[in-house]
Amino acid sequence: MKRFEGKVVIVTGAGAGMGEATARRFSAEGAAVVLVDVEEGRLQVIARELDPARTLVRTADVSVSQSIEAVVAAAVETFGRLDVMVNNAGVHDAGQPDEITDERWRRVMSVDADGVFYGCRAAIPHLEKTKGCIVNNASVSGTGGDWGMSAYNAAKGAVVNLTRALALDLGKRGIRVNSVCPSLTRTAMTEEMLENKALVAKFRERIPLGRVCEPEEVAAVIAFLASDDASFVTGTNIAVDGGVSASNGQPSG
């Protein structure tokens, strides 16, 4: 499928995990892709495997508004337009609420919540011209609470409701806004969790499909939401969670 030929896509957090898989997916489907990450190293390695005529690499911190605004400007200057903004970059933190220092709280909120808002805001004028769309990477952690993840839950909850609010404000301007809500996915972010075999067993018990998600499975849903196949879909936070959110929380027998 080449659903994105002639389209320009920005993916933040493209240096690893779901962002990398998403950038590769859009590129494989014909898009010009701007790969953005706060870490430069991996970006160059990934970019070398993509078509140089349709690839741009930018180092930027999404939590600094001028930084992501400069990325959007560079994308439009290089490729002449912007069709899809994927706000995927994020960080995770865990701990009891009274252990979360101001700095830890601000780090999670600034990357995971501020960063998504700044990315959306910077993209709006360009997406209005192309009737483009936004896809945010939220999490199942944005649709309910987790044990020991209060800051992350707060930030991801903000992304979920921001997605809805932006869909209302931008619909008549021709811009669709959606998010994906993955559950435990095999990436660098969850490396420690995945090394804990007892924890993984507990997750598998709660996931109806009985396994952890792979980054490419999230990338596929992001690509669907960004495509014309989803032309009447806006304001949704789509679970990519193997069925976790189908449960009311009671254990299996």
In angstroms, what is the minimal distance from the CB of 199 to ligand NAD? 12
Q: Calculate Rg over the CA atoms of the chain.
A: 17
Residues 6+ apart with CB under 8 A from 84: 4, 7, 8, 9, 10, 26, 31, 132, 133, 134, 135, 226
Nearer CB in complex with ligand NAD: 8/149: 149
CA nearest neighbour of 157 among 167, 165, 145: 145
Q: Which of 76, 91, 184, 223 binds ligand HBR (CB under 6 A)?
A: 184
Q: What size, in residues, is the chain?
A: 253
118 catalytic? Reply is no
Rounded to whole angstroms, the Cα distance separating 32 from 34 reads 7
For residue 141, state whether it binds ligand HBR (rule: CB under 6 A): yes
Nearer CB in complex with ligand HBR: 27/190: 190
83 makes contact, choosing from ligand NAD, ligand HBR, none, with CB < 5 to 8 Å by partner type, with: none
Choices 31-39, 81-89, 183-191, 214-222; region in contact with ligand HBR by CB under 6 A: 183-191
3-state secondary structure of 239: strand
Q: Which residues bind ligand NAD (CB under 6 A)?
A: 12-13, 15-19, 37-39, 61-63, 88-92, 111, 115, 137, 139, 182, 184-185, 187-190
| Residues that are catalytic | 152
